[in-house]
Amino acid sequence: MHISAELRQLFARAKRVVVLTGAGVSAESGVPTFRGGGNTAVWKGMPFDVISSAEMVERDLPAVWEWFDYRRNFLQELTPNPAHYEIARWQERFAELTLVTQNIDGLHQKAGSLEVIELHGNIWRARCTACRTTYSMVQEKRPDACFECGDSLRPDVVLFGEMLPPGAFEFAAVRASQSELCFVVGTSALVYPAAGLPEIAKAAGAYVVEVNPERTPLSSLCDEVLTGKAGEVLPLF
């Protein structure tokens, strides 16, 4: 793995750094992407994008919870990998580190990352369908209903057919436009608006680095492409 002298120098002196992570980082901890083939793409005969849809919340909320409870039980045993821990350490290294993730598994927080911008929500939180009050399910059992208004709860994740959480992308975009260095880690960068972040950083003059096992549609935009697993590449810095 060759990291250029230019990137090493920039890494050493950069103050404002943005990191965008995707499913590839979590896959190294054993998290299924749920987009691949095999049994993971279907739950009780329903395709992944049906059971994980806004429409399904309206139609059969208990079925949605059954699916997400199954996924949480699976994730409970998994632990962060070296990439998660390395990114968490970068908080001490840079004056301003902005971590933006498309993942909902909470592994960045488990590794010690603070103030993670979660574009797609978090599987360990429930949210009231009416007043949007959120409840942690990391240590706590999920309440039967919202304590504030009594309405039903749903997973606090972005489902198919839904918009991103208010303000999350906008804040990430501002940080990207102010960054000197932008890492895109473990994502094919095909899903917008998240895929727009490296474009915003690049347009603002940031040095954009991709870390991925194989090249992606984003690779041609990047100043440097480091091909390999995130857990093996990031600790080299």
Provide the CATH number for the domain around residue 229.
3.40.50.1220
Residue 201 lies in a domain: yes
Q: Which range of residues forms the domain containing residue 51?
A: 38-76
Domain final residue pick, 23, 51, 76: 76
Q: Are strands 96-101 and 16-21 parallel, antiparallel or unpaired?
A: parallel
∠ CA 79-83-88, rounded to 5°:
90
**DSSP element (H, E) containing 214:** none
Domain total for the chain?
2
Same domain membership, residue 185 and residue 86: yes
Residue 156 lies in a domain: no
What are 154-170's pLDDT values in tens digits?
A: 999 999 989 998 899 99
Same domain membership, residue 207 and residue 108: yes
Annotated active-site residue 2? The verdict is no
In percent, how much of the chain has pLDDT > 70? 95
**The two structure tokens encoding residue 120:** 């797609």
Region 200-225 average pLDDT: 95
Residues 6+ apart with CB under 8 A from 147: 133
Residue 214 lies in a domain: yes
Same domain membership, residue 89 and residue 65: no
Same domain membership, residue 110 and residue 182: yes
Residue 138 lies in a domain: no
What are 27-67's pLDDT values in tens digits?
A: 999 998 655 444 455 677 788 888 899 999 999 999 999 99
Residue 141 lies in a domain: no
Same domain membership, residue 48 and residue 16: no
Same domain membership, residue 218 and residue 176: yes
Q: Which long-range contacts (CB under 8 A, 24 or more apart) does 27-34 make?
A: 27/186, 28/81, 28/83, 28/186, 28/229, 28/230, 28/231, 29/78, 29/79, 29/80, 29/81, 29/84, 29/105, 29/107, 30/78, 31/75, 31/78, 31/103, 31/105, 31/107, 32/74, 34/71
Residue 153 lies in a domain: no
Residue 172 lies in a domain: yes
* pLDDT surpasses 80 at 200: yes
Same domain membership, residue 84 and residue 72: no
99 SS3 class: strand
Same domain membership, residue 213 and residue 109: yes
Amino acid at 181: L
Residue 191 lies in a domain: yes
Query: Pick the catalytic residue: 2, 84, 108, 120?
Result: 120
Same domain membership, residue 203 and residue 185: yes
Same domain membership, residue 91 and residue 70: no
Residues 6+ apart with CB under 8 A from 27: 33, 186
The predicted model scores a pTM of 0.92
Same domain membership, residue 59 and residue 16: no
Gyration radius from the chain CA atoms:
18
Same domain membership, residue 172 and residue 223: yes
